[in-house]
């Protein structure tokens, strides 16, 4: 994984959280070797993007080096700590439609775990289907993946605290 951290959060923790999110994928294991992940803060709601090719600068908000050795690009926008808790609802509705899971991130770590799981699920689907575009209904599956990863993250944290 190529991790670029432009956020206020520690790089080592971000890397652990992203690897955790990848390990929670229920479709297939995610190969992180050629994935570029860019994390930055946002003043608004958490959001992310995944690309199966290098995106244009106007879409991702950053100029990427053309020789960057990545097959997939993931962008995570994480609010600052005082902006939590935050819900996955968008304008009062589940992101991805009625089949989507709804969840609330209590802090930035939960947000990274859930959001990375969502975006990396797109990557898993592309890796499985050799990069061809998959129908938009996948947003609901990606949101269910995010909720699953968040649930497991909370369980793992409780187990770690209890030990």
pLDDT in tens, 5-20: 999 999 999 999 999 9
- Whether residue 114 contacts residue 147, with contact meaning beta carbons closer than 8 Å, is answered with yes
Between 72 and 69, the more confident residue is 72
DSSP 30-87: ---TTEEEEEEEESSS-EEEEESSPPPHHHHSSPPPTT---SEEEEEEEE-GGG-SEE
Angle subtended at Cα 20 by Cα 119 and Cα 143, rounded to the nearest 5 degrees: 35
β partners of residue 3: 37
pTM reported for the whole predicted model: 0.89
pLDDT digits (tens, 9 = 90+) for 87-99: 999 888 888 888 8
Q: How many helices (H) and strands (E) does the chain have?
A: 4, 8
Note every long-range contact of 83-92, with CB atoms under 8 Å and residues 24 or more positions apart, other chains counting: 83/43, 84/108, 84/111, 86/45, 86/46, 86/111, 88/114, 88/143, 88/146, 88/147, 90/45
pLDDT digits (tens, 9 = 90+) for 124-139: 888 877 655 555 458 8
pLDDT at residue 64 above 80?
no
């Amino acid at each position: 994984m190529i991790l670029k951290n432009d956020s206020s959060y520690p790089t080592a923790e971000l890397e652990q959280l992203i690897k955790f999110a990848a390990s929670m994928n229920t479709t297939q294991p995610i190969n992180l070797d050629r994935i570029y992940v860019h994390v930055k803060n946002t003043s608004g709601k958490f959001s992310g993007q995944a690309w199966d090719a290098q995106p244009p600068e106007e879409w991702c908000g950053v100029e990427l080096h053309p020789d960057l050795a990545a097959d997939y690009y993931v962008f995570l926008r994480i609010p600052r700590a005082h902006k939590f808790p935050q819900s996955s609802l968008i304008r009062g509705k589940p992101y991805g439609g009625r089949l989507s899971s709804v969840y609330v991130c209590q802090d930035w770590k939960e947000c990274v775990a859930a959001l990375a799981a969502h975006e990396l699920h797109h990557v898993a689907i592309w890796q499985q289907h050799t990069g061809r575009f998959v129908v938009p209904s996948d947003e609901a599956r990606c949101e269910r993946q995010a909720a699953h990863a968040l649930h497991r993250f909370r369980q793992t944290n409780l187990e770690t605290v209890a030990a």
